[in-house]
């Protein structure tokens, strides 16, 4: 679990596990960016919060239950080709870099609180 995000990063509960096949079935019809479905629409359809849908999507991706499951501003979709998948990977890397930049800045700011300002890898 991730500190401060325990609910989001905890293992799936019984209800989430029960609904995962329904979410997978629906997502498998969303081939290509033009067919994307929003997390909110999925959440409304299955009666979960958006955060719980994100949690299920994360498990689906990490366990490779739907290869090529991507996201964009329009929602979630299955890549039709390598270009769609590559574009999503680039977007993900850019978001990770932005988060690492914030992490490095915050670690430097620890000096103001008596810390060392040393940047570290991940704990």
Summarised one tens digit per residue, pLDDT across range 67-111 is: 999 999 999 999 999 999 999 999 999 999 999 999 889 988 988
Residue 11's pLDDT band (cuts 50, 70, 90):
confident
The answer to whether 64 touches 17, Cβ cutoff 8 Å, is no
Q: Spell out the domains of the chain, with CATH numbers in brackets.
A: 1-80 (1.10.10.10), 81-123 (no CATH)
Whole-model pTM?
0.83
DSSP state of 72: E
Summarised one tens digit per residue, pLDDT across range 62-79 is: 999 999 999 999 999 999
The answer to whether 42 touches 23, Cβ cutoff 8 Å, is yes
Inter-axis angle of helices 14-27 and 50-62, nearest 10:
70
Task: Evaluate if residue 4 carries a pLDDT over 80.
Answer: no
pLDDT of residue 58: 94
């Amino acid at each position: 679990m991730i500190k401060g995000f325990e609910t989001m990063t905890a293992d799936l509960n019984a209800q989430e596990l029960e609904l995962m096949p329904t979410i997978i079935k629906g997502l498998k019809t969303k081939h290509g960016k033009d067919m994307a479905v929003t997390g909110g629409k999925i959440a409304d359809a299955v009666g979960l919060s958006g955060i719980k849908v994100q949690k299920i999507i994360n498990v689906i991706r990490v366990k490779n239950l739907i290869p090529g499951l991507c996201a964009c501003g329009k929602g979630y979709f299955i890549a039709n080709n390598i270009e769609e998948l590559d574009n999503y990977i680039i977007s993900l890397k850019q978001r990770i870099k932005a988060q690492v930049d914030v992490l490095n800045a915050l670690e430097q700011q620890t000096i103001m609180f008596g810390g060392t300002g040393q940047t570290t890898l991940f704990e």
